[in-house]
């Protein structure tokens, strides 16, 4: 088995209301950053796990997303491997 | 009427719900979230609170509790299920109710009295109310913003599944009267067959004059009225 | 040993642990210990301490745990009454509230952590005070929060304020404890050093009281709840240091993160443990973590404890014994399980999905002994840790600067600078007077379905289910008054707290206090502290409200400047009959408005001066404890005789603002007001002075005569000053030579709109 | 001016307790995913903005992070450009 660090980005689905993004947009604008078109806020989840290889690691993580990490009604997700054994133990 | 009130780790309105059901004469028991058998209950209630701290998304982790499988079965067999606040969030996460509850537009926890309009009285939860009645009931939540796509909203409206709506004191649907930004000012809705109700406001907190309102009693009286006839 | 020979004292030798630093005078100083204190430690030990032992002593002898500079004065406070079940010294005070119930209550500060990280600092502050309550065997039933910040025109202050409020809210909301009140003030005197005090009340059957002592030699010590990480190591010493530019950066790794979900589980598990009978003692791991909880529990029982740090479940690898002993990770408890009942503790904790680990035992030898696997790494007498901390009494001298401010002539400020109505609106919209809804709408106030009066009333009230009784609670302190005249200011704080309770229909019963001050080593701060304690002692005696516990927070300074001395009073009272609960706002048009007490021209410390001239100056208003007591007795009698429809005391913003609050209620349906005041005072004083001993009541017109007569019977000045008007009528208050006239919509907008408008502008953690 | 989509990952600082990560870890374990060592949860923020070039876009975004998007006491952040004009309008 090998170690992998997985990064999961969970984002509000396009078109759905994102109150947090809206509020941040508003705050940034009033701080003088006026050249912003849109702000969306999601979650970044990092999971350190053991798996045979990176393909299995990805599959497992995607299964987690479908099962619980993302809400299919409101969210999309993206999964990637951001670290393997060496980088994690470092 | 035999009522089961489910306790998840982090539920904090379970006791309040227990007392409210007891007040209308129900025989009430707590159901621990790991319990696997719902035989003998006439109604199952999912209380408010912060099951699993509301971490990840409100209701997301509670949804995988062992008891939920049986609750899904119970609901599919027509058993009445009432979810209040966090209970509503869990029902949405579990797919027993459509849509999702996301963060309040204010991004703040909102705790105060709201007014809501009773739109549907043909449900086991609201038969003791008058259609058009305006209730004053406390809310207390950070994620009560009901979100659904246009198609679903149309369907909910067309099927008359919106039971409660946020209004002002005069009964008008306004932006200020909507405490969390919910689509169509939805405060409570049912599933297709009408036996599952989710609502953000807390009727169990409006059961006695000393607490400021008795407008929540109708929910429990309705259940008692409907279910005692079934039992007898 | 033959007669006459002294017994040989065996001094246990402990060899230094590999990798630990050697003890140098710098290291001793870094631990906040003076040379004298260090010598004393060596004498107690009979040898030089190891690094771990030094850490333990330093934490236990810190200001926070050892009360070095406050203990002697605190002994002057009255602590006894027939209804006091548990006075100071335990996790919380406990009083008898009748019908077989006991109430545990206490207040705690989290000022320094909140200055560095407002959200987590405030959240963990609430977490800590909840644990103090449920470890007494009581179920928490209410929370209050007392807050102070700099002026809100700074983005950083808005950030602190917003963060603290959501931290207080999120934590209590998640655990499910209603917030029933509190207070907040904004003044440049708190810039950079906010005050965050949280109070909790818990209810139990009298027989369920349990104390935090390690009794029963051979019993097992268990740590339950969250794992131990490197959070807040040396928090106790940190809480006793001044803040500076660097401390913000330097103290970052010490930030503790709260987990209210785990706390909720811990609460349920603890109450279940206590009722199971499997344990003999339980204590929160607060400041100084395992060290303080274990040594305090040992100290109280006169026993010793032996702990193996290698058995403590940790969150991070490679933690040293020093770190494990001093970690302040949240949501942990130390439990003393009766020998042979450990499995029951495990069973209950498992049900609540929490960990429990056996880490040691209660011993008979009075030693605080720490092992790391088989090696002894600390071995010290337990009692001196908790009882041996040297205490100091210092010299206190008033600061010249304050004396000058107090003696400032305020006559010119009695002449209004323009229109009175305009000044009034400015005052009403000042964050110190304006509605605090923006705060408490973020707090769950109705969970547990027992809140009879929510925040926004004179005091919060929770009923006791199954009885006719209710408990009322309030927190109060006007720091400006204390700054200008510490003794009088403290008396005012106690009087105001009692007055607030009385207005809701409660009999003031006992207090807890949080003494927030600057660096006590400075003479003028010590002066403030001593005077405030003396004033509080006098007032508590006068109102028969003993002090059952409290907390001292010193070193509230930024770059050498201290906050206003702020002795927050948390007072609880008993309402014997729910029908006595009295609202603060007017209830019915046509009712008479009666003023109890006298208007005076005492403008010292008034909010009016701050708003119109940016001044904190003058002699604070006089307070006559005997007359105040009479006033309160009179109001209670009126309430018990059903004479009143509402009662509200006059505080910040004076009579005019009190009347506005009575008129506006919760905004939904405000009443008009028509009041005429014939005092021969400048109108500014009549309307805005913050003279003490005044309560505005309303009653049906046919009761007015009774009300005035009852007041007279108590030698309290009383007069009818006007009438409650119709909904939608104007707010109209006339004084000799001046008046306020304004429509209710404008009034309402000023009062309710102020805080939301301010908080809509962005906040930032950096200026 | 050009369009850029910025991705900001805000993560809890190492060593600090992450209650949310802990709860998710626990939930994943109870769903049978036992080979997990650690879960940490942060925020993923997406900002669509206009800037001269990608260097300016990065600088601006970092300034936003320091000013308001990240809490310096408890969080670290990472900024990157994940899209330019074409990809965004697509
Ligand atoms: N930080 C707070 N938390 C909860 N309630 C608060 C807070 N600050 C103020 N309140 C509530 O707002 C109301 C007005 O506060 P305040 O003006 O301090 O009252 P008073 O002057 O009567 O003591 C009170 O009911 C108080 O409990
Ligand atoms: Mg006030």
DSSP C225-242: ESPB-STTTTHHHHTTS-
pLDDT beneath 70, residues of chain C: 1-9, 234-254, 767
- Number of Cβ within 10 Å of residue C23's Cβ equals 18
Distance from CA of C166 to the nearest CA of A (A): 15
Ligand 1 atom showing the smallest separation from residue C433 Cα: 17
B188: pLDDT strictly greater than 80: yes
Q: Extract the tokens encoding C583.
A: 């609202």
Q: Are C516 and C197 within 8 A, CB to CB?
A: yes
Q: Extract the tokens encoding C53.
A: 């032992």
Give contacts of B 68-107 with C, CB under 8 A: none
Q: Extract the tokens encoding C463.
A: 């009923």
Contacts of C19 (CB under 8 A, 6+ apart): C320
Active site residue C648: no
Alpha helices by DSSP H, listed for C601-682, are: 607-613, 625-640, 654-664
D32 in contact with B, Cβ within 8 Å = no
pLDDT, position C187? 98
Q: Extract the tokens encoding C345.
A: 């503790």
- Domains of chain B, each with CATH number or no CATH: 2-228 (3.40.50.880)
Q: Round to whole Å and give the CA distance between C84 and D70.
A: 48
Q: Round to whole Å and give the CA distance between C103 and C433.
A: 31
pLDDT, position B232? 36
**Identity of the residue in A19, A67, A73 whose CB atom sits nearest the CB atom of B103:** A19
pLDDT, position C102? 98
Q: Round to whole Å and give the CA distance between A20 and C325.
A: 40
pLDDT in tens, B45-87: 999 999 999 999 999 999 999 999 999 999 999 999 999 999 9
Hey, are the CB atoms on D19 and B56 less than 8 Å from each other?
no
pLDDT level of residue B153 (50, 70, 90 thresholds): very high
- 3-class SS of residue B109: coil
Which residue reads 């809206």 in tokens? Answer: A22
Report the CATH number that the domain containing residue D63 is assigned in CATH: 3.30.1280.10
Hey, are the CB atoms on D27 and B53 less than 8 Å from each other?
no
Q: Round to whole Å and give the CA distance between B79 and B3.
A: 11
- 3-class SS of residue B174: coil
C178 lines ligand 1 (CB under 6 A): no
Give me the domain span that covers residue A53: 2-89
C183 lines ligand 1 (CB under 6 A): yes
C contact test, residue of A22, A27, A39, A48 with most C CBs within 10 A: A27
Strand partners for C90: C88
A70 in contact with D, Cβ within 8 Å = no
pLDDT, position C249? 42
Alpha helices by DSSP H, listed for chain B, are: 14-23, 66-76, 86-93, 150-158, 217-231
Hey, are the CB atoms on C578 and B210 less than 8 Å from each other?
yes
Per the document, the length of chain A is: 90
Q: Round to whole Å and give the CA distance between D49 and A29.
A: 11
Residue C737 alpha carbon to ligand 1 centre in Å: 32
B contact test, residue of D18, D19, D23, D32 with most B CBs within 10 A: D23
Which-ligand-closest: CA of C499? 1
pLDDT, position D84? 76
pLDDT, position C286? 80
Neighbours of chain D (3+ CB pairs under 8 A): A, B, C
Task: Locate the DSSP E strands across A1-90.
Answer: 2-12, 36-51, 75-84
Contacts of A80 (CB under 8 A, 6+ apart): A6, A7, A58
Q: Round to whole Å and give the CA distance between B72 and C706.
A: 63
Q: Round to whole Å and give the CA distance between C595 and A74.
A: 58
pLDDT, position C254? 65
- 3-class SS of residue A8: strand
* Phi–psi pair at C741, nearest 5 degrees: -140, 130
Distance from CA of D55 to the nearest CA of A (A): 15
Q: Round to whole Å and give the CA distance between C694 and C690.
A: 9
DSSP element (H, E) containing A53: none
First vs last C-alpha separation in chain D = 18
B99 in contact with A, Cβ within 8 Å = yes
Do β-strands C507-516 and C470-476 pair in parallel, antiparallel, or remain unpaired?
unpaired
Active site residue B204: yes
- Cα C421 from chain centre: 36
Q: Whose CA is nearest to atom 18 of ligand 1?
A: C183
pLDDT, position C241? 56
pLDDT in tens, C566-611: 999 999 999 999 999 999 999 999 999 999 999 999 999 999 999 9
Q: Round to whole Å and give the CA distance between C376 and C50.
A: 11
Comparing B185-189, B199-203, C50-54, the range with the smallest average pLDDT is: C50-54
C546 lines ligand 1 (CB under 6 A): no
pLDDT, position C253? 52
Q: Round to whole Å and give the CA distance between B18 and B20.
A: 6
Q: Are C131 and C262 within 8 A, CB to CB?
A: no
pLDDT in tens, A42-79: 999 999 999 999 999 999 999 999 999 999 999 999 99
Task: Locate the DSSP E strands across B19-133.
Answer: 27-32, 43-46, 81-84, 100-102, 110-118
pLDDT, position D4? 95
Distance from CA of D64 to the nearest CA of B (A): 19
Q: Round to whole Å and give the CA distance between C545 and C472.
A: 14
Which one-letter DSSP state was computed for residue C50? Answer: P
Please count the structural domains in chain A: 1
Residue C652 alpha carbon to ligand 2 centre in Å: 5
Residue C539 alpha carbon to ligand 2 centre in Å: 21
Q: Extract the tokens encoding C235.
A: 């928090």
pLDDT, position B231? 42
> Ligand 1: which of C107, C440, C647 to mutate, judged by most atoms within 8 Å of the beta carbon?
C440
pLDDT in tens, C497-510: 999 999 999 999 99
pLDDT, position C237? 54
pLDDT, position C767? 65
Ligand 1 atom showing the smallest separation from residue C179 Cα: 4
Q: Round to whole Å and give the CA distance between C693 and C496.
A: 8
Distance from CA of A18 to the nearest CA of B (A): 8
* Phi–psi pair at D63, nearest 5 degrees: -65, -40
Comparing A26-35, A80-89, C140-149, C285-294, the range with the smallest average pLDDT is: A80-89
pLDDT, position C131? 95
pLDDT, position C300? 86
Ligand 1 atom showing the smallest separation from residue C184 Cα: 8
Active site residue B13: no
**By C-alpha distance, which of B54, B175, B149, D72 is closest to C163?**
D72
Helix and strand totals (H; E) in chain C: 27, 28
């Amino acid at each position: 088995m090998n170690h992998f660090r997985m990064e999961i980005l969970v984002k509000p689905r396009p078109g759905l209301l994102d109150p947090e993004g809206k509020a941040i947009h508003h705050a940034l604008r009033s701080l003088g950053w006026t050249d912003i078109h849109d702000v969306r806020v999601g979650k970044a989840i990092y999971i350190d796990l053991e798996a045979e290889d990176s393909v299995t690691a990805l599959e497992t993580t995607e299964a987690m997303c479908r099962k619980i990490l993302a809400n299919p009604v409101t969210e999309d997700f993206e999964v990637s491997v951001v670290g393997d054994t060496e980088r994690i133990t470092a | 009427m035999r009522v089961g009130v489910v306790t998840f780790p982090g539920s904090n309105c379970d006791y309040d719900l227990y007392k409210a059901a007891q007040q209308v004469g129900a025989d009430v028991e707590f159901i621990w979230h790991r319990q696997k058998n719902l035989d003998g209950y006439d109604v199952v209630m999912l209380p408010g609170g912060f099951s699993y701290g509301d971490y990840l998304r409100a209701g997301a982790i509670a949804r995988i509790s062992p008891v939920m499988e049986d609750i899904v079965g119970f609901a599919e067999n027509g058993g009445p299920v009432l979810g209040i606040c966090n209970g509503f969030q869990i029902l949405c996460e579990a797919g027993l109710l459509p849509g999702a509850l996301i963060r309040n537009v204010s991004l703040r926890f909102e705790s105060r009295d709201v007014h809501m309009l009773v739109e549907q009285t043909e449900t086991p939860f609201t038969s003791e109310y008058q259609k058009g009645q305006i209730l004053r009931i406390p809310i207390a939540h950070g994620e009560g913003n009901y979100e659904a796509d246009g198609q679903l909203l149309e369907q909910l409206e067309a099927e008359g599944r919106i039971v409660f709506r946020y209004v002002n004191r005069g009964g008008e649907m306004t932006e200020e009267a909507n405490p969390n930004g919910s689509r169509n000012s939805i405060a409570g809705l049912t599933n297709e067959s009408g036996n599952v109700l989710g609502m953000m406001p807390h009727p169990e907190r409006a059961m006695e004059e000393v607490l400021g309102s008795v407008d929540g009693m109708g929910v429990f009286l309705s259940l008692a009225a409907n279910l005692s006839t079934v039992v007898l | 040993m033959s007669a006459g020979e002294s017994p040989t004292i065996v001094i246990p030798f402990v060899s230094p642990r590999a990798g630990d630093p050697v003890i140098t005078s710098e290291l001793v100083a870094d631990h906040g210990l003076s040379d004298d204190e260090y010598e004393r430690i060596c004498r107690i030990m009979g040898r030089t301490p190891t690094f771990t032992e030094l850490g333990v002593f330093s934490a236990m002898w810190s200001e926070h745990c050892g009360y070095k500079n406050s203990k002697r004065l605190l002994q002057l406070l009255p602590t006894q009454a027939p209804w006091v079940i548990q006075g100071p010294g335990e996790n919380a005070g406990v009083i008898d509230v009748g019908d077989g119930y006991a109430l545990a209550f206490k207040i705690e500060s989290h000022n320094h952590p909140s200055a560095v990280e407002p959200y987590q600092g405030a959240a963990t502050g609430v977490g800590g005070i909840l644990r103090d309550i449920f470890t007494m065997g009581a179920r928490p039933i209410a929370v209050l929060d007392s807050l102070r910040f700099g002026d809100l025109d700074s983005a950083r202050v808005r950030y602190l304020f917003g963060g603290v409020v959501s931290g207080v809210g999120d934590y209590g909301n998640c655990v499910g404890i209603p917030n029933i009140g509190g207070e907040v003030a904004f003044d440049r005197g708190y810039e950079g050093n906010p005050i965050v005090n949280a109070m909790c009340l818990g209810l139990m059957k009298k027989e369920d009281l349990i104390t935090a002592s390690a009794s029963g030699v051979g019993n097992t010590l268990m740590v339950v709840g969250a794992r131990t990480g490197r959070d807040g190591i040396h928090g106790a010493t940190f809480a006793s240091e001044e803040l500076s530019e660097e401390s913000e950066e330097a103290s970052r790794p010490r930030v503790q993160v709260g987990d209210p979900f785990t706390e909720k589980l811990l609460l349920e598990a603890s109450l279940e443990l206590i009722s199971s009978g499997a344990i003999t003692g339980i204590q929160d791991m607060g400041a100084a973590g395992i060290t303080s909880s274990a040594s305090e529990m040992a100290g109280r029982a006169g026993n010793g404890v032996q702990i193996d740090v290698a058995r403590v479940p940790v969150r991070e690898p490679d933690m040293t014994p020093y770190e494990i002993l001093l970690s302040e990770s949240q949501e942990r408890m130390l439990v003393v399980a009766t020998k042979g009942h450990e499995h029951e503790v495990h069973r209950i904790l498992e049900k609540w999905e929490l960990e429990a680990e056996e880490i040691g035992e209660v011993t008979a030898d009075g030693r605080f002994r720490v092992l790391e696997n088989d090696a002894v790494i600390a071995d010290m007498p337990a009692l001196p840790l908790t009882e041996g901390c040297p205490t100091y009494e210092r010299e206190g001298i008033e600061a010249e600067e304050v004396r000058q401010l107090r003696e400032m002539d305020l006559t010119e400020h009695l002449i209004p600078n323009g229109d009175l109505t305009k000044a009034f609106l400015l005052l009403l919209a000042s964050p110190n007077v304006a509605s605090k809804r923006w705060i408490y709408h973020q707090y769950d106030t109705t969970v547990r379905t027992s809140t009879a009066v929510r925040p926004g009333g004179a005091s919060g009230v929770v009923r006791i289910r199954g009885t006719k009784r209710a408990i009322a609670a309030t927190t109060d302190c006007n720091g400006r008054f204390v700054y200008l005249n510490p003794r009088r200011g403290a008396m005012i704080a106690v009087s105001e707290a009692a007055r607030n309770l009385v207005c809701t229909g409660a009999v003031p019963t006992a207090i807890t206090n949080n003494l927030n001050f600057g660096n006590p080593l400075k003479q003028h701060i010590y002066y403030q502290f001593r005077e405030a304690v003396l004033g509080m002692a006098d007032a508590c005696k006068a109102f028969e409200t003993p002090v059952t516990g409290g907390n001292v927070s010193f070193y509230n300074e930024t770059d050498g400047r201290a906050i206003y001395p702020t002795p927050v009073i948390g007072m609880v009272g008993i309402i014997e009959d729910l029908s006595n609960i009295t609202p603060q706002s007017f209830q019915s048009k046509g009712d008479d408005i009666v003023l109890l007490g006298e208007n005076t021209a005492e403008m010292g410390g008034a909010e009016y001066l701050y708003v119109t001239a940016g001044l904190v100056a003058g002699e604070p208003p006089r307070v006559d404890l005997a007359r105040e007591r009479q006033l309160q007795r009179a109001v209670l009698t009126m309430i018990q005789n059903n004479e009143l429809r509402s009662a509200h005391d006059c505080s910040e913003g004076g009579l005019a603002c009190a009347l506005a609050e009575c008129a506006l209620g919760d905004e939904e349906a405000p009443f008009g007001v028509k009041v005429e005041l014939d005092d021969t005072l400048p109108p500014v004083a009549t309307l805005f002075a913050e003279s003490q001993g005044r309560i505005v009541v309303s009653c049906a017109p046919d009761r007015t005569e009774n009300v005035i007569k009852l007041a007279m019977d108590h030698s309290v000045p009383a007069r009818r000053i006007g009438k409650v008007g119709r909904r939608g009528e104007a707010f109209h208050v006339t004084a000799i030579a001046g008046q306020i006239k304004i429509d209710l919509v404008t009034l309402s907008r000023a009062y309710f709109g102020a805080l939301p408008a301010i908080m809509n502008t962005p906040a930032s953690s950096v200026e």
